[in-house]
Structure 1
Amino acid sequence: MKRVAFWFMLMLVGTLVLGACSSDSADKESNKEKNNKEVVATVNGENIASEEYQKELEATKAMYTQQGVDFKEIDGEMKKQVEQSVLDQLINTKLVLQSAENDGISVGQKEIDAEIGNVKGQFEDDKQYQAALKENKITEEELTQQVRQQLIITQYLDKNIGDVKVSEDEVKLVYDQYKEQAESMKQEVKDFETMKPELEQQAIAQKKNEEVSKHIEDLRAKNEKNIEILL
């Protein structure tokens, strides 16, 4: 059940709140004061709601708790880093979704329903599924929206990153890391050939993460002037 709950927290998303515009100067000032309370950042004119940020932050704190870390006990500097990381993640997600829309990437309802079906399949029945939603403070509508976004992001990254291949040396480097860790924990070290298929997947995942990070950094650099932090 914890594994499923953790999945829900990773998928957690808040409702996007867009600020209203008005030609009246008094309304503009009123909206400005309102946005300062309700919006933490804008990305190319699109708002990131404070509600969304707080919800994602609470999910992150819950993940720390599941890993045995009391968020209340970590020092102030670490808390600031976590808060900044959550905000950066929301900004980066917004940038990717905007770029995906510009690329004409979209997903159909059948794809979304299939993924939701996979989620429900992890539970014995609908009652248990609904209980997990309640436990993780997420509605089915929010879950559906996040699934849609995740599918779009996956398609976008597949298009822009593509297939990643690794060399034998890169696989051996992962093996050396595994071997060092296993020896430090006094565990049995399996030979390279036995571990190779698994090691290749790890090496590919690591390299793809690096490519994704680089792509995100490029997006941030290109759009930095259009990102406003209000937090």
Structure 2
Amino acid sequence: MKFKKVLLPFIAGALALSLAACSEEDKAAKDAKDEAPQEETKQEATKDQEATKDQEKAVKEMQEKLAKQQVDKNKIVAVVNDEELKGVEYNAALSSIQGQMQQMGQDPSSEEATEQVKAQTLDTLVNQTLILQKANEAKLKAATTEIDEEYSLLEKQFGGEKAMKKALKSQSMDVKALKEQIADSIVFDKYLDKVAPAGKVTEKEIKEYYDQVAATSKDSGQELPPLEEVSKDIEGIIKQEQQQKLLAAHVEELKAAAKIELKI
């Protein structure tokens, strides 16, 4: 599991899922309109309308299937070191994981995936809680300016204030709840830098990583930019992978020492 962005994906994933559903419907209607020739026959217009309706129906059916995996927002889903985790947190994590699976071309609503999604969601929640508990013990905080900056970036990512509010409403969230999750994400990153600092990355490691990716890209008919143009990006990726390994080991230690009870 990737830990670096364990919190913001709850936000971004849930919002992206709702926005994707809305934009899919809007896009289908827009495409049918934009692509229609000026002298389109009535029969062709009917076919386009039917295709749009089919797309909208498919999106709606998927939303309904995914919603069935949610739990009551007040239901206690787990207890971690006497801290109760409720359905509202579970559902946020669930939406993110569902969205990530869809982005990878997987169907999170299938019968086979249902238990996998549930287990992954609970594991993610427990990991997040253990990390934040330790971060709070270390008295790590998120400044108001940091929260506002992250919120502005997220709002811009989702197309402005109106689109953001629409997405929040679809997820039964408000700005206050969103900023609380952003604060947790900032605290998480500070804790990550504290317990899993990235080491120095050598030029040899960057070159080896580049060569591996270049070989894969060549097989698929793509060509990478020159090494000097992407070396900084590769360095960041390698550092993140280093932190992932360190934090994963740290979380396992926290789990071994924690009292964890799953309720669903």
How high is the TM-score relative to the length of structure 2?
0.65
Give distance in 1, aligned partners of 2:146 and 2:232: 30
Give distance in 1, aligned partners of 2:143 and 2:227: 43
Partner of 2:212: 177
- CA change 1:179–1:105 in 2 (3 A) is same
User: What amino acid maps onto 1:59 in structure 2?
Assistant: S
Is 1:87 aligned to residue 90 of structure 2?
Answer: no
- CA change 1:168–1:79 in 2 (3 A) is farther
How far does the alpha carbon of each residue in 1:13-66 deviate from its partner, in whole angstroms, 9 at most, with x for none?
Answer: xxxxxxxxxxxxxxxxxxxxxxxx921211110011134223422332233334
User: What amino acid maps onto 1:206 in structure 2?
Assistant: E
Partner of 1:40: 77
Partner of 1:229: 262
Give distance in 1, aligned partners of 2:119 and 2:10: 22
Is 1:71 aligned to residue 74 of structure 2?
Answer: no
SS across alignment from 1:86: helix
Report the count of equivalent residues.
198
User: What amino acid maps onto 2:214 in structure 1?
Assistant: K
Partner of 1:197: 232
SS across alignment from 2:78: strand
- CA change 1:11–1:218 in 2 (3 A) is farther
Partner of 1:58: 95
Aligned equivalent of 1:188, options 205, 223, 233? 223
- CA change 1:173–1:84 in 2 (3 A) is farther
Q: Would you say the 8 A contact 1:39–1:49 is kept in 2?
A: yes
How far does the alpha carbon of each residue in 1:174-210 deviate from its partner, in whole angstroms, 9 at most, with x for none?
Answer: 2232023112212225554454333222222221222
How high is the TM-score relative to the length of structure 1?
0.73
Superposed displacement of residue 130, structure 1 = 1.4
Aligned equivalent of 2:243, options 194, 208, 211? 208
- CA change 1:186–1:91 in 2 (3 A) is same
SS across alignment from 2:106: coil
Identify which range, 200-209 or 129-138, moves more after superposition: 129-138
* Identity rate, percent: 28
Q: Would you say the 8 A contact 1:161–1:211 is kept in 2?
A: yes
Aligned equivalent of 2:147, options 96, 100, 112? 112
Q: Would you say the 8 A contact 2:14–2:171 is kept in 1?
A: no
Unaligned runs of 5+ in 2: 1-8, 16-73
**Paired residues for 1:138-177 under 5 Å:** 138-177=173-212
SS across alignment from 2:251: helix
Please tell me the root mean square deviation across aligned C-alpha atoms, in Å: 2.7
SS across alignment from 1:47: strand
